[in-house]
Structure 1
């Protein structure tokens, strides 16, 4: 039986995805906290604002942070598990003139 690298190994994949989900939950909480702080600062400096405006501000800040966390998390997930090393890159030697 061969040792499958990266996310092909069920145990390693299970551990990596559990860690990824845990990081995403923490980033969701962080994004919500930052969104609430931004809405609070707007309320303090601009005065009372419509609830829809505050809700959309919180949602915008949260979704921006979550998109960045998701993309960076997936990049580190594939790189950290060795999944990227399994890619057979046939074009780079032709482009870089490597033998």
Structure 2
């Protein structure tokens, strides 16, 4: 049976998710600044070529950075709360030795 995750406790989970939301807000601010810098650079190098270039650039940079922030934030959330240690390692040392044989 799997161990109990620290995220099962409502207080730990509330703290962890509040920290995750704070990280996402921080990354949205950084993303906004990055998009503005990218737009300024494009305008400086190309002038006003097409509004679609700026829309696509803004959406692309925003989507890439926020996806990266969301996934890395979830990794930090599961690792920082001890959720990763709550798994049931059914293979144990067998899997580790098998990976060593492959390398």
TM-score relative to the length of structure 1: 0.87
User: Aligned residues, how many?
Assistant: 94
Q: Which segments of 5 or more consecutive residues in structure 2 lack a partner in the other structure? A: 98-103
Deviations, residues 36-70 of structure 1 (Å, cap 9, x unaligned)? 11011011011212112101101111111111111
Query: Which residue of 2 is the match for residue 26 of structure 1?
Result: 26
Query: Is 1:32–1:58's contact at 8 Å kept on the other side of the alignment?
Result: no
Q: Which segments of 5 or more consecutive residues in structure 1 lack a partner in the other structure? A: none
Query: Which residue of 1 is the match for residue 79 of structure 2?
Result: 79
Ranked by relative contact order (alpha carbons within 8 Å, sequence separation 6 or more), the top structure is 2
Query: Is 1:20–1:73's contact at 8 Å kept on the other side of the alignment?
Result: yes
TM-score relative to the length of structure 2: 0.84
Residues of 2 paired with 1:21 and 1:49: CA distance? 37
Residues of 2 paired with 1:22 and 1:51: CA distance? 32
Q: Equivalent residues in 2 for 1:1-99 (5 A)? A: 5-97=5-97
